[in-house]
Amino acid sequence: MKSAKHRIGIRLALVAALLGSTTAITSAEDGELTVFDWSGYEAPEFHPGYTAKHGQSPTFTFFGDEDEAFEKLRAGFKTDLAHPCSQSVVKWREAGLLEPLDTSRIEGWKNLNPGIMAMKNLATDESGTAWFMPWDWGNTLLTYNTETVPAEDITSLKILADPKYKDRVSLPDNVDDAYALGSLAIGLKDWTQMTDEQFKQASDFLREVHKNVRLYWTDSTDIVQALSGGEVDLAWAWNDAAVQSALAGAPIKNTRDTEEGQSTWVCGYVMLKDAPGSKGKVYDFLNSINSPEVASFLLSDWGYGHADAKSMSTIDPAVVQAQGYGDVDKFVEKTLFQSPVPAELKQRMIEEFEKIKAGY
């Protein structure tokens, strides 16, 4: 699904050179709580209650995508919490990496969005055991430069494969987002039921788009720089790419109004088995990220929805509408949810996407 940089970090990155991969960086703060996360989520605005209580932030260490994180955890990397997304939770759980959550210690558990909580095999398993606390949710959607891409060109995702945009397109270096795009482009909204023929069609579309790709982005800093600096005109990107670019003064927008729609993902936090840190601080952190002030920051500065429905209800309706979350029925109508896919299909996607990126 995604990685992200805080607004301030992106603004600095637009002035300075990109500093390279964040996957090896560790932000050392509290030695009793380690959070394995996407870059950018270490922003203090996301856990003010934790800092107020303990006088410092948790220690953050970062991954570039969930497959990388999964392999690192399987190899023995120890952390207390991690931040995977909907399509990965079952895989991590079945690999024996996770420990159940004690929902009685999570103050906002009953306030979590009913629609998200109803997603099959996500927050809880069939027995009702909780393994995942949904927290942020958003989209991967068509993002474009309003000064170089005419309005009539953004009505379909197929514009990404139009030869006139050769070397002006960017896609995420992320197999889930890539195949969400391929699935939508062929009219498929439920990729869990993808047939062999549909897999071929989706892969063929991604091969056509590859001919136009200037870069595959791995971090929001990459795509914000590429869009804001005029290196690319079109992208398949997360909500924050347009939000951050616009905050930096660039003419970048995204659209949910293509014929094929958008992809939607839900991310959140899991507790790792044999976590070395303080269980008390694990729950202090989980409670600190569920609050109205955090929900407001997540929506206004990053363009993402918060899974805490009660906190979302406190936000100015104009802000909710401006970020595209005002009409939930319309939002859901044209979306592909990044639900977990069968393990065999996911492996095929991984292998095929590597071939596509290599030009085969």
Task: Read off the pLDDT of residues 297-337 as tens digits, 9 standing for 90 and up.
Answer: 999 888 899 999 999 999 988 888 888 777 766 666 678 98
- The pLDDT of residue 335 is 87
Phi and psi, residue 28, nearest 5°: -90, 115
> Average pLDDT, stretch 235-240?
94
- The pLDDT of residue 329 is 63
Q: Is 153 exposed, middle or buried (CB count within 10 Å of its CB: 0-12, 13-18, 19+)?
A: middle
Q: Binning pLDDT at 50, 70 and 90, where does residue 23 land?
A: very low
Pairwise pLDDT comparison (109 vs 335), residue with the higher score: 109
Pairwise pLDDT comparison (331 vs 267), residue with the higher score: 267
What does the DSSP 8-state code read for residue 124? Answer: B
- CA–CA dist 239, 246 (Å, integer): 11
- The pLDDT of residue 5 is 37
- Sequence-distant (6+) residues with CB within 8 A of 162 are 153, 212
> Average pLDDT, stretch 120-138?
90
Pairing of strands 58-63, 26-27: antiparallel
Q: Is 51 exposed, middle or buried (CB count within 10 Å of its CB: 0-12, 13-18, 19+)?
A: middle
Q: For domain 7-137+265-331, is the CATH number 3.40.190.10?
A: yes
* pLDDT of 76 higher than 90: yes
Q: Does the global pTM surpass 0.85?
A: no
Length of the chain, please?
Answer: 360
- The pLDDT of residue 97 is 97
The mean of the pLDDT values for the chain is 88
What does the DSSP 8-state code read for residue 75? Answer: T
> Average pLDDT, stretch 12-21?
31
Q: What is the CATH number of domain 139-263+336-357?
A: 3.40.190.10
> Average pLDDT, stretch 175-194?
94
Q: Are 59 and 35 in contact (CB under 8 A)?
A: yes
CATH 3.40.190.10 in the chain is located at 7-137+265-331, 139-263+336-357
* pLDDT of 232 higher than 50: yes
- The pLDDT of residue 134 is 95
> Average pLDDT, stretch 54-66?
92
- The pLDDT of residue 116 is 85
Pairing of strands 133-145, 252-255: antiparallel
When mean pLDDT is compared across 91-95, 257-261, 298-302, 338-342, the lowest value belongs to 338-342
Pairwise pLDDT comparison (233 vs 86), residue with the higher score: 233
- Say how far residue 241 (Cα) sits from the centre of its chain: 11
* Percent of the chain with pLDDT strictly greater than 90: 67
